[in-house]
């Protein structure tokens, strides 16, 4: 116990707290700022007003971008979760030798720097007429979200008892029936959290969206970015706060889903 009172150890704890605060606090600046009474970015904010939130819902630029982001994210969740889960199941159950290569290909979008992905997609989508287009965003974001779904579902599958599939077959269930009635319910938490992360990946995506954006087709992060460079508007803080709220909700939900899964099948 004397060890923990050593000055070095104490300094380490203090340092850890500082780093933790450095990680968490700065971002939270946008929350009080969103209630500022003045049209200024001065911090600490002066006055109190909820007009920036009102503005967010009434100003078409802001509101439409939020709705646009939401639509895209929901569609991306469907695409990415489906494709990612299929891939994860195939990679876990299959025994082909090129499994590792296939996995690498599917994870690649997560590894390649975003700007590189963005310009390739921008060029191709320009020729296909998919820029400034809902489906263009959906396909681009899906490709970026699939890796995270593959990783999440694969992790869930790694603790899946494959003996259960043998049991299911011996009891008369064909391959499809076994996957749907036995495997899917058990990996559902992993799939669900993968879906949540896919949603977040799309909702938060910025760099590819920057290239694909147009004056009437902007996602929320891009709207924020353009506003910061253009004008002083605390509505940005309101939008940011809401974005943070959604992120926190999704991450906490995903954590809860995964925690519950561990408890259920222990």
Closest CA to 194 of 114, 258, 102, 138: 258
- Indicate whether 27 belongs to the interface with other proteins (CB under 8 A): yes
- Indicate whether 198 belongs to the interface with other proteins (CB under 8 A): no
Point out which span in 17-25, 52-60, 70-78, 151-159 binds other proteins (CB under 8 A): 17-25
**Minimal distance in Å, beta carbon 38 to other proteins?**
13
Q: What part of residues 34-53 is at the interface with other proteins (CB under 8 A)?
A: 41-44
- Indicate whether 10 belongs to the interface with other proteins (CB under 8 A): no
- Indicate whether 215 belongs to the interface with other proteins (CB under 8 A): no
Tell me the number of residues near other proteins by CB under 8 A.
Answer: 100
**Minimal distance in Å, beta carbon 266 to other proteins?**
7
State the binding string over 146-185 for other proteins (x if CB under 8 A, else -).
x---x----------x-xx-xxxxxxxxxx-xx--xx--x
Q: How many CB atoms lie within 10 A of CB 28?
A: 11
**Minimal distance in Å, beta carbon 58 to other proteins?**
21
**Minimal distance in Å, beta carbon 54 to other proteins?**
20
CB-nearer residue toward other proteins: 67 or 115: 115
State the binding string over 90-119 for other proteins (x if CB under 8 A, else -).
xx-xxxx-----x--xx-xx--xxxxxx-x
- Indicate whether 249 belongs to the interface with other proteins (CB under 8 A): no
Q: What part of residues 60-79 is at the interface with other proteins (CB under 8 A)?
A: 79
CB-nearer residue toward other proteins: 182 or 192: 182
CB-nearer residue toward other proteins: 64 or 242: 242
DSSP states of the chain as a string? -GGGGSHHHHHHHHHHHHHHHHHHHHHHTHHHHTT-SSSS--SS--S---HHHHHHHHSHHHHHHHHHHHHHHHHHHHHHHHHHHHHHHHHHH---TTHHHHHHHHHHHHHS-HHHHHHHHHHHHHHHT-TTSHHHHHHHHHHHHHHHHHHHHHHHHHTS-THHHHHHHHTT--HHHHIIIIIHHHHHHHHHHHHHHHHHHHHH--HHHHHH-BTTB--HHHHHHHHHHH---THHHHHHHHHHHHHHHHHHHHHHHHHHHHHHT-
């Amino acid at each position: 116990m004397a060890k923990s009172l050593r000055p070095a150890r104490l300094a380490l704890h203090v340092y850890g707290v500082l780093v933790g605060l450095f990680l968490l606090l700065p971002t939270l600046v946008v929350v009080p700022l969103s209630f500022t009474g003045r049209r200024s970015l001065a911090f600490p904010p002066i006055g109190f007003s909820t007009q920036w939130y009102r503005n967010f819902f009434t100003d078409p630029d802001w509101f439409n971008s939020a709705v646009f982001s939401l639509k895209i994210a929901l569609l991306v969740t469907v695409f990415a979760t489906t494709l990612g889960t299929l891939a994860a199941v195939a990679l876990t159950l299959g025994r082909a030798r090129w499994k590792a290569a296939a996995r690498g290909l599917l994870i690649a979008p997560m590894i390649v720097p975003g700007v590189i992905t963005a310009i390739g997609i921008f060029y191709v989508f320009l020729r296909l007429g998919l820029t400034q287009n809902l489906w263009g965003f959906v396909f681009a974001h899906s490709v970026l979200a699939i890796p995270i779904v593959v990783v999440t579902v694969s992790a869930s599958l790694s603790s899946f008892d494959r003996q259960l599939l043998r049991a299911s077959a011996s009891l008369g269930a064909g391959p499809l029936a076994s996957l749907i009635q036995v495997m899917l319910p058990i990996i559902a938490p992993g799939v669900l959290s993968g879906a949540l992360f896919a949603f977040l990946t799309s909702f938060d995506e910025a760099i590819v969206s920057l290239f694909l954006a147009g004056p009437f087709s902007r996602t929320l992060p891009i709207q924020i970015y353009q506003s910061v460079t253009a004008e002083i508007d605390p509505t940005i803080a309101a939008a940011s706060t809401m974005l943070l709220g959604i992120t926190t909700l999704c991450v906490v939900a995903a954590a809860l889903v995964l925690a519950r899964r561990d408890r259920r099948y222990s």
